[in-house]
Amino acid sequence: MLKRYLVIVIFACIPAIFLYGQVAKSPVAPDYTRLKQILDEAYHEFLTDSTGTPADYIPELATVNPDLFGICIVTVDGQIFCVGDVEHTYSIQSISKVFTLAMVMEQIGKEAILEKLGTEPTGLPFNSVTAIEQQSTRVGNPLVNAGAIATASLLDGKNEAAKWKTILAYYSACAGEPLTMMDDVYASEAATNGRNHAIARLLDAYGVMYDDPEKAVDLYTRQCSVGMTTKQLAAMGATLAAGGVNPFTGERAMQATNVPQILSIMLSCGMYDYSGTWSYLTGLPAKSGVGGGIVAVVPGKGAIAAFSPRLDAAGNSVRAQKAIAYISQHLNINIFDPQSVGVKQSN
Ligand code: GLU
């Protein structure tokens, strides 16, 4: 009788033991309960913060509900923790620069990236023409508009349609789900991006545009108009965190050997002319877009993505950056902290 009772108890406990194993091994946090608690705290702490203004220089972006706010964490072992409006689709904007850079790096190599695009922060706004005049490389780095348009001009492909197809397929593999372009955002930006055309022409005059400037700007405008949810953005970040393998599909989306260089550029240049302060506050490589999204990567552990349309003067989402900074500080995941999660504390 007792034996039978014991067997029943052991079998009843198996799902619990299995579940405990799953949640307890979350690589970005001490434990599941703590992670969930900090995520919720970050959300409620900044939910009523209405500082900042949504981007309106791309008219379509001004039509987005400014109150939307969502945060997601995806770990390299495929766990997902979300709070808020995480299913809302918005345009990736500047965050796309990271993934096109990854594609071009695979095609031309790390050395050529350094030589043709550079890796220095400009210390100036993302669409600065002054930066082109001041910097010897002209393009600055691949995460400002000049550098990103130059990056798009380097992308290999039979024709424009083929290049665009490759971009969409690459981004989708990183997200682990098919992504599409938001036609209304593309039309709105294409009708108003005279400044990006001017940047491309200027780069061409300096001999650092590697394709027809009009075509490069169009490709760049398309990539900025790709739509995604905060969940998908977190998955893209987690793919970087996992060395290029999507944590949900298990497929290699990105070449592993380039990931350290991509993260390094994100750390120094990913948060516009606020990147130094961001790195000081969070110790996390990140990229933001004027659509209101930010993704921060915790190498080897996971990624945090947040979305909220109101931006500060640099172009970073106010609530998204505050939420990610809060999570980084409270979860102890600053990559420069020798005692960050995953590293044993020495006595
Ligand atoms: N498509 C936007 C532009 O070119 C991207 C800017 C951004 O997100 O930083 O202005």
Q: Report the nearest-CA residue for atom 2 of ligand 1.
A: 93
Domain containing residue 100:
2-337
Decide: 293 in ligand 1 pocket, CB within 6 A: no
Integer Cα distance of 16 and 63 in angstroms: 46
Q: What percent of the chain has pLDDT over 90?
A: 82
Residue nearest to atom 9 of ligand 1 (CA): 94
Reply yes or no on whether the pLDDT at 264 is more than 60. Answer: yes
Per-residue three-class SS string for 22-43? HHHCCCCCCCHHHHHHHHHHHH
Q: Is the pLDDT of residue 342 over 90?
A: no
Categorize the per-residue pLDDT at 120 as very low, low, confident or very high, splitting at 50, 70 and 90.
very high
Residue 32 confidence (pLDDT) above 80? no
Average pLDDT over residues 105-109: 97
Predicted confidence at residue 248, as pLDDT, reads 97
Residue to mutate, 58, 90, 94, 222, ligand 1, most ligand atoms under 8 Å from C-beta = 94
CB atoms within 10 A of CB 141: 27
More confident residue, 238 or 125: 238
Residue 289 lies in a domain: yes
Nearest ligand 1 atom to alpha carbon 291: 8
In a domain, 342, yes or no: no
Give a yes or no: residue 347 inside a domain: no
Residues 84-105 have a mean pLDDT of 98
Ligand 1 contact, 290 CB (< 6 A): yes
CA 93–ligand 1 middle distance (angstroms) = 5
Q: Which atom of ligand 1 is nearest to the CA of 196?
A: 4
pLDDT at position 260 is 97
Q: Is 202 within the bounds of a domain?
A: yes
Mutation choice for ligand 1 from 60, 95, 126, CB with most ligand atoms inside 8 A: 126
CATH number for 226 = 3.40.710.10
- Average pLDDT of the residues of the chain: 91
Ligand 1 center to 208 CA (angstroms): 20
| pLDDT for the residue numbered 3 | 59
Q: What is the pLDDT of residues 315-333, one digit of tens each?
A: 999 999 999 999 999 988 9
Confidence of residue 217 (pLDDT cuts 50, 70, 90): very high
pLDDT at 250 exceeding the cut of 50? yes
pLDDT of residue 61: 95
Does the Cβ of 186 fall within 6 Å of ligand 1?
Answer: no
| More confident: 186 or 28 | 186
The atom of ligand 1 lying closest to the CA of 315 is 9
- 297 assigned to some structural domain: yes
Of the candidate ranges 3-17, 211-225, 262-276, the one whose mean pLDDT is the lowest: 3-17
CA of 97 to the centre of ligand 1 (A): 9
Residue 201 covered by a domain: yes
pLDDT at 142 over 50: yes
Question: 344 in a domain, yes or no?
Answer: no
| Residue of 224, 226, 287, 316 to test ligand 1 pocket, by largest number of atoms within 8 Å of CB | 224
Q: What spacing in Å lies between the alpha carbon of 120 and ligand 1's midpoint?
A: 19
Residue 148 Cα: closest atom of ligand 1: 4
Section 94-105 average pLDDT: 98
Which residue minimizes the CA distance to atom 7 of ligand 1?
A: 94
Instruction: Output the residue whose Cα is nearest ligand 1's atom 10.
Output: 127
What pLDDT sits at residue 221?
Answer: 98
Question: Does residue 119 fall inside a structural domain?
Answer: yes
The tally of domains found in the chain comes to 1
Which atom of ligand 1 lies nearest, measured to the CA of 95?
8
Q: What is the 3-state secondary structure (H, E, C) of the chain?
A: CHHHHHHHHHHHHHHHHHHHHHHHCCCCCCCHHHHHHHHHHHHHHHCCCCCCECCCCCHHHHHCCCCCCEEEEEECCCCEEEEECCCCCEECHHHHHHHHHHHHHHHHCHHHHHHHCCCCCCCCCCCCCHHHHHCCCCCCCCCCHHHHHHHHHHCCCCCHHHHHHHHHHHHHHHHCCCCCECHHHHHHHHCCCHHHHHHHHHHHHCCCCCCCHHHHHHHHHHHHCEEECHHHHHHHHHHHHCCCECCCCCCECCCHHHHHHHHHHHHHHCCHHHHHHHHHHHCCCEEECCCCEEEEEECCCEEEEEECCCECCCCCEHHHHHHHHHHHHHHCCCCCCCCCCCCCCCC
Task: Give the per-residue pLDDT at 137.
Answer: 87
Q: What is the pLDDT of residues 43-54, one digit of tens each?
A: 999 999 999 999
